[in-house]
Structure 1
């Protein structure tokens, strides 16, 4: 994480639940959910940001899912709020012989900044309810920021 030119670290906790009648896992072709997240800045030892997002998932084919999201966030450090957007894909590499590996990519931004970001990486699924992500990110315009994200998802 980079804040005011300084590098730091943060931890984010995120919850997600499907909108009743639009559970992507149940109908397997289209889904809408609600997510909420809160971040904690480990460098400054305080709460950082909260967000609420509506993600939409559409299965195009067996290995390919397209995703879009729209949401709102508030950053306590700058005391600013923003409207967020994103578009992504998930391509399961099972047809290529890598059953537990998925290529993931996304672009995202918000209404307060004119420099969208992009990320590309892999998701490893060692068990049906566990995902491990390793993602490289880059700011597309403006300051040439790069980052590496490691993530874990547990579903229950």
Structure 2
């Protein structure tokens, strides 16, 4: 090690001057959320099993939980240019032994922007249509509905998606999505076709790199990418950057975790 290495306090001061105050606060919140999530769930890691895909990523895969297995996804997302805008999500899902081809779940999302908050509940179902390990193919049908809990017009829309996963090798998986969405945008009903492509590459047993590109016909488009750290075989930790490719091209940073039991 070099004996001229700067003191810790000097590096911290330099870091603090590099980032604007709003971006520094956003980064600290994401790192704190990741640290708290890891600490709270590490004690459960010995009794659960982690898998790839899912979490805060938009492009779904064709797999479901094994019969009798559940998972909980949690993540926190902040926009880069608007420190006051953020989303928090918790999404449990289970596959029961009596229905080994069906995964049932729900997502609770809290959106906060400009001192205005909204909570949304989204029940979810995912049915596996094909699972051919010899061909490396998995196909499913996923659906969800969305209700805003603190709004007069509570029904916010729904989605249907066909996610297909092709395992090109032991390390590389490709995800393709085609679907349809129905949404209420400020009182206007919109129906759009949706699409998405994603890639997962296992760089090493403890690290997977994930990237995706997705969009709606005539609507929102964006991309996300980041590393996924596998803590043993039981817990996944995500750090994701993303950007909209339409309108104001907002960027965001997401931290999250997936726990299976």
60-69 vs 146-155, greater mean Cα deviation: 146-155
Q: Give the length in aligned residue pairs.
A: 146
Q: In the alignment, what sits opposite 1:134?
A: 239
- The answer to whether the 8 A contact 1:82-1:110 is kept is yes
Q: In the alignment, what sits opposite 1:104?
A: 210
Shift of the alpha carbon at 1:38?
4.0
Q: Tell me whether 1:144 sits opposite 2:249 in the alignment.
A: yes
Q: Distance in 1 between matches of 2:216 and 2:150?
A: 24
Q: 1:149 to 1:42 in 2, by over 3 A?
A: farther
Q: Distance in 1 between matches of 2:245 and 2:224?
A: 10
- The answer to whether the 8 A contact 1:9-1:41 is kept is no
List gaps (5 residues or longer) in structure 1: none
Q: 1:68 to 1:134 in 2, by over 3 A?
A: same
More helix by share: 2
Higher relative contact order (CA 8 A, sep 6+): 2
- 3-state SS in 2 of match to 1:9: strand
Q: In the alignment, what sits opposite 1:84?
A: 194
Q: Tell me whether 1:52 sits opposite 2:130 in the alignment.
A: no
Shift of the alpha carbon at 1:116?
2.6
Q: Tell me whether 1:33 sits opposite 2:140 in the alignment.
A: yes
Q: 1:10 to 1:50 in 2, by over 3 A?
A: farther
9-18 vs 64-73, greater mean Cα deviation: 9-18
Aligned-residue CA RMSD in angstroms?
3.4
Q: Which of 87, 110, 114 is residue 9 of structure 1 equivalent to?
A: 87
Q: Distance in 1 between matches of 2:125 and 2:238?
A: 17
More strand by share: 1
TM-score by length of 2: 0.46
Q: 1:69 to 1:136 in 2, by over 3 A?
A: same
TM-score by length of 1: 0.72
Q: Distance in 2 between matches of 1:150 and 1:88?
A: 19
Deviations 1:12-37 (A, max 9, x none): 62443311xx226x547111111223
Shift of the alpha carbon at 1:60?
1.0
Shift of the alpha carbon at 1:154?
5.1
Q: Distance in 1 between matches of 2:161 and 2:176?
A: 10
Q: Distance in 2 between matches of 1:155 and 1:28?
A: 26
